[in-house]
Amino acid sequence: MPESTQDTNLPYAIRAYSAERLRDALKKMYLVRKFEEGAEDSYMRGLIHGTMHLSIGQEASAIGSTMGLTDEDKITSTHRGHGHCVGKGADLGKMFAEFFGKETGYCKGRGGSMHIADPSKGNLGANGIVGGGLPIAVGAALSAKRLGTGAVTVCFFGDGANNEGAFHEALNMAAVWKLPVVFVCENNKYGMSTSTERSTAVKNIAERAAAYAMPGVTVDGNDFSAVTEAVDAAVARARAGDGPSLVENVTYRWRGHSKSDRNRYRTKDEINEWMGRDPIPAMAKLLMDHHIVTEDDVAAIEAEAEGIIKDAIEFATSGPDPKVEEVIRDVYTPEATA
Amino acid sequence: MNAQNKPELRELSYAEAIREAMDIALEDDPSVLLMGEDIGVYGGAFQVTGDLVDKYGTDRVLDTPISELGGAGVAVGAALTGLKPIFEFQFSDFAALAMEQIVNQAAKVRFMLGGSVSVPLVMRFPAGSGTGAAAQHSQSIEAWLGHVPGLKVVQPSTPEDAKGLLLAAVADPDPVMIFEHKILYKMKGHVPEGYYTTPIGKAAVRRAGKDVTIVATSIMVHKAMETAEKLSADGIDAEVIDLRTVRPMDRDTVLDSVRKTGRLVCVYEGVKTLGVGAEISAMVAESDAFDFLDAPIVRLGGAECPIPYNPELEKAVVPQVPDISAAVRDVVQGRV
Ligand SMILES: Cc1ncc(C[n+]2csc(CCOP(=O)(O)OP(=O)(O)O)c2C)c(N)n1
Ligand SMILES: [Mg+2]
């Protein structure tokens, strides 16, 4: 949760969070980047099978949106969810172990990249189904309200997901029942190859909020402070019992949609332009400008993240494989089938 | 399947064969259009539509938003009113989002309206495991749709049939659901040039044999063929039937074979329980072919769990050649 408030001329994040929290946020952004670079490298070397969806370029959205959450708060995530996991405090070793299909992974090797979850930290999981998490987030918010836990649910989804029926049904119920949920759209301009211009009737996804009588804002999703300001306000509103909001973080994925993307639907210039708006150096600059870190500190934080990733890969590769005999173990709850 | 012996025959991959069928359908009939997610400039998640958008334009190779329920429903409505949509699901698993339109609308509208309308709709479903895409991107759900009167459900196992069944589906006045196995997309085989159809509802005997009948679907046909070749070295002569159509099922081909061999093993990738093999077995058990059985019927299907991510687990939950081989030996040698 945001901690302090001082000079209103300062950017929101600088006002709201301690130096320690901000340094930690920068570290997490590096962790997401280096986790995904490590995953990509492992994939190229044939150590990982399947596919993966990298969020490189979108780190400010993931880490900024989870900044104000506690372990009691919930998130639902997407196929592009590594950043959300890290934001919610996931262990990088267990994430890599899942990638490598190990018994020591978050899903014991059953789920892979698209299903990483950590219910102990309020992370209800990535999802292989576009839009699958939207009504689930509303359900988590219903629980919080009925059980009086005070928890808020942040529901991540992409611009593409806003054209699924589940999006519209979920937002409507959340609004009708005034539930403590924040819908965070990570608008990276494309659902796979299809641009929002070609798929979506409104210009900004946030305009959809009006149809469900909730506030909707569009922010620069590569600006950490702008993201935290918008999401924290929506979380505060949800906590106060005033119902759901929609926040749209406009951002960009640098990599292809998945490992099979020929990038034929967008230009090199567009990709390069967005690569020039890297959210991580922008965050480092924000912290340096406000004397929270020095250039040396930034280098040290980056090196620390690199070390964590190295250890995580080591933990993951040395872990045991799941046992084939146990494959159906978790289909049902043991007590129920006994 | 025996193109290796005839090098002069033209070979295409399964994906290319499907693309060629769609190309012919688009060329021949202006009412045909392709619909689906990322089938245009992207070429489809598995590059099956490929460059067809360059030839036919974005009006006839129509990228939909990520809206499976709506997209399927639009296809149903278009099929009711003069168009012939070929609708691609990015993965067969996403049919779950569109079940309303497939099951309650497309399958039933002709019947409910007393036969006054038809729904000439084709849906294509990339299906099956083996890609490491885990539980929500690897299912074999042909039995779900095979359970619905009003739908026809096919599972081509070769490039030749992939083209022929698609063209038969386009020519069919009723909704036809085509399950394409993702692992087969790159498989090459002989594909005749030009227009032809492969009959819906007709199985193919891929290998004649006298000791045991193996009825297989989709990718399992290839595993069954491999098994049969291996077993022939040990003097076991298996007949392999490629079911090709799940609904309506080819009763005659299966029963004739069982009457001849007296033994039946069903091999399919979908979950074993309540799957395609249950229907094949029941068909035999309810007929006179039952009297010809010398051994209990054996089914090999997917394990009773979602498809796991770990590659070893993923392999373990669907029948593999050694599993089929062991089962066939047991049946033939009276160990069941
Ligand atoms: C129901 C469903 N339809 C289609 C897909 C295939 N698919 C996976 S991600 C994706 C694009 C999603 O776009 P968006 O929501 O904008 O998220 P992004 O990938 O851009 O992060 C598609 C079409 C899916 N997984 N689930
Ligand atoms: Mg997107």
pLDDT in tens, B144-191: 999 999 999 999 999 999 999 999 999 999 999 999 999 999 999 999
Determine the Cα–Cα distance for residues B145 and B177; give it in Å rounded to an integer.
Answer: 8
- Assess whether pLDDT exceeds 80 at residue A4: no
Mean pLDDT of chain A: 96
Is residue A3 in a domain? no
Question: What distance in angstroms lies between residue A144's CA and the mean position of ligand 2's atoms?
Answer: 29
pLDDT at A3: 66
Mean pLDDT of chain B: 97
Nearest residue to B215 via CA among B174, B179, B167, B249:
B249
Instruction: Give the model's confidence band at A118: pLDDT under 50 very low, under 70 low, under 90 confident, else very high.
Output: very high
Which of the following is catalytic: B16, B20, B37, B68? B68
Would you tell me how many other CB atoms lie within 10 Å of the CB of residue A315? 18
Is residue A139 in a domain? yes
Mean pLDDT of the B285-300 span: 98
Q: For residue B59, what are the contacts with CB-CB under 8 A and spacing of at least 6?
A: B33
ω into B248 cis (within 30 of 0)? yes
Residues with a CB atom less than 6 Å from ligand 1: A 53, 79-80, 128-130, 158-161, 188, 190-192, 257; B 37, 66, 68, 90, 94, 97
Which of the following is catalytic: B20, B37, B88, B137? B137
Per-residue model confidence as pLDDT tens digits over A16-50: 999 999 999 999 999 999 999 999 999 999 988 88
More confident residue, A136 or A262: A136
- ipTM for the complex? 0.95
| B68: annotated active-site residue | yes
Is residue A6 in a domain? no
Q: Which residue has the tokens 């934080």?
A: A301
- Assess whether pLDDT exceeds 90 at residue A161: yes
Question: What distance in angstroms lies between residue A53's CA and the mean position of ligand 1's atoms?
Answer: 10
Angle at which helices A19-44 and A295-318 pack, to 10 degrees? 50
Question: Who among B66, B131, B303 is closest to A160 (CB)?
Answer: B66
Mean pLDDT of the B32-47 span: 98
Mean pLDDT of the B271-299 span: 98
Determine the Cα–Cα distance for residues B162 and B113; give it in Å rounded to an integer.
Answer: 32
| B147: annotated active-site residue | no
Mean pLDDT of the B231-243 span: 98
Nearest residue to A167 via CA among A196, A203, A208, A127:
A208
Q: What percent of chain A has pLDDT over 90?
A: 92
Determine the Cα–Cα distance for residues A262 and A334; give it in Å rounded to an integer.
Answer: 45
pLDDT at A49: 85
Query: Residue A263 is part of a domain; what is its CATH number?
Result: 3.40.50.970
CB B247 within 8 A of CB B202: no
Is residue A328 in a domain? no
pLDDT at A47: 87
- Assess whether pLDDT exceeds 90 at residue B202: yes
Nearest residue to A321 via CA among A27, A86, A110:
A110
H/E element, B28: helix B14-28
Is residue A111 in a domain? yes
Which stretches of chain A are DSSP H helices? Answer: 12-16, 19-44, 59-66, 82-87, 92-99, 133-147, 165-176, 196-199, 224-239, 268-275, 279-289, 295-318, 334-337
DSSP line for B31-86: TEEEEETT-STT--TTSSSTTHHHHHHHHHEEE--S-HHHHHHHHHHHHHTT-EEE
Is residue A126 in a domain? yes
Q: Which two tokens stand for residue A257?
A: 């949609």
A218 vs chain B: nearest CA distance in angstroms?
21
In order of B40, B49, B73, B211, B327, the CA distances from B21 in angstroms are: 17, 10, 24, 37, 37
Mean pLDDT of the B128-137 span: 97
pLDDT at A50: 87
Question: What distance in angstroms lies between residue A121's CA and the mean position of ligand 1's atoms?
Answer: 25
pLDDT at A338: 52
| Domains delineated in chain B | 9-192 (3.40.50.970), 204-332 (3.40.50.920)
- Find, in chain B, the residue whose alpha carbon is nearest to that of A256: B42
Mean pLDDT of the B63-72 span: 98
pLDDT at A324: 97
- CB distance A161–B305 less than 8 Å? no
Determine the Cα–Cα distance for residues A230 and A12; give it in Å rounded to an integer.
Answer: 10
Mean pLDDT of the A214-225 span: 98
Residue A116 DSSP label: -
pLDDT at A122: 98
Q: Which residues of A touch B (CB under 8 A)?
A: 49-51, 98, 101-102, 107, 109-112, 114-115, 127-132, 160-161, 163-166, 191-194, 198-200, 260-262, 264-265, 321-322, 324, 327-328, 331
- Assess whether pLDDT exceeds 90 at residue B302: yes
Is residue A11 in a domain? no
- CB distance B63–A198 less than 8 Å? yes
Mean pLDDT of the A277-296 span: 98
In order of A37, A129, A186, B221, the CA distances from A192 in angstroms are: 20, 13, 13, 33
Mean pLDDT of the A275-301 span: 98
Residue B307 DSSP label: P
B282 vs chain A: nearest CA distance in angstroms?
27
E-assigned strands of chain B?
A: 11-13, 32-36, 61-63, 84-88, 122-127, 152-154, 176-181, 188-190, 204-207, 212-216, 238-242, 245-247, 264-271, 298-302
pLDDT at A336: 67
Range(s) of the domain holding residue A204 = 22-319
Instruction: Give the model's confidence band at A337: pLDDT under 50 very low, under 70 low, under 90 confident, else very high.
Output: low
Mean pLDDT of the A297-306 span: 98
- Assess whether pLDDT exceeds 70 at residue B1: no
Q: How many domains would you assign to chain A?
A: 1
Determine the Cα–Cα distance for residues B37 and B34; give it in Å rounded to an integer.
Answer: 10
B131 vs chain A: nearest CA distance in angstroms?
5
- Assess whether pLDDT exceeds 80 at residue A191: yes
Neighbouring-strand partners of residue B212: B238
- B316 Cβ under 8 Å from any chain A Cβ: yes
Cβ-Cβ contacts under 8 Å, B43 against chain A: 262, 264
Is residue A10 in a domain? no
Mean pLDDT of the A108-117 span: 95
- Assess whether pLDDT exceeds 60 at residue A120: yes
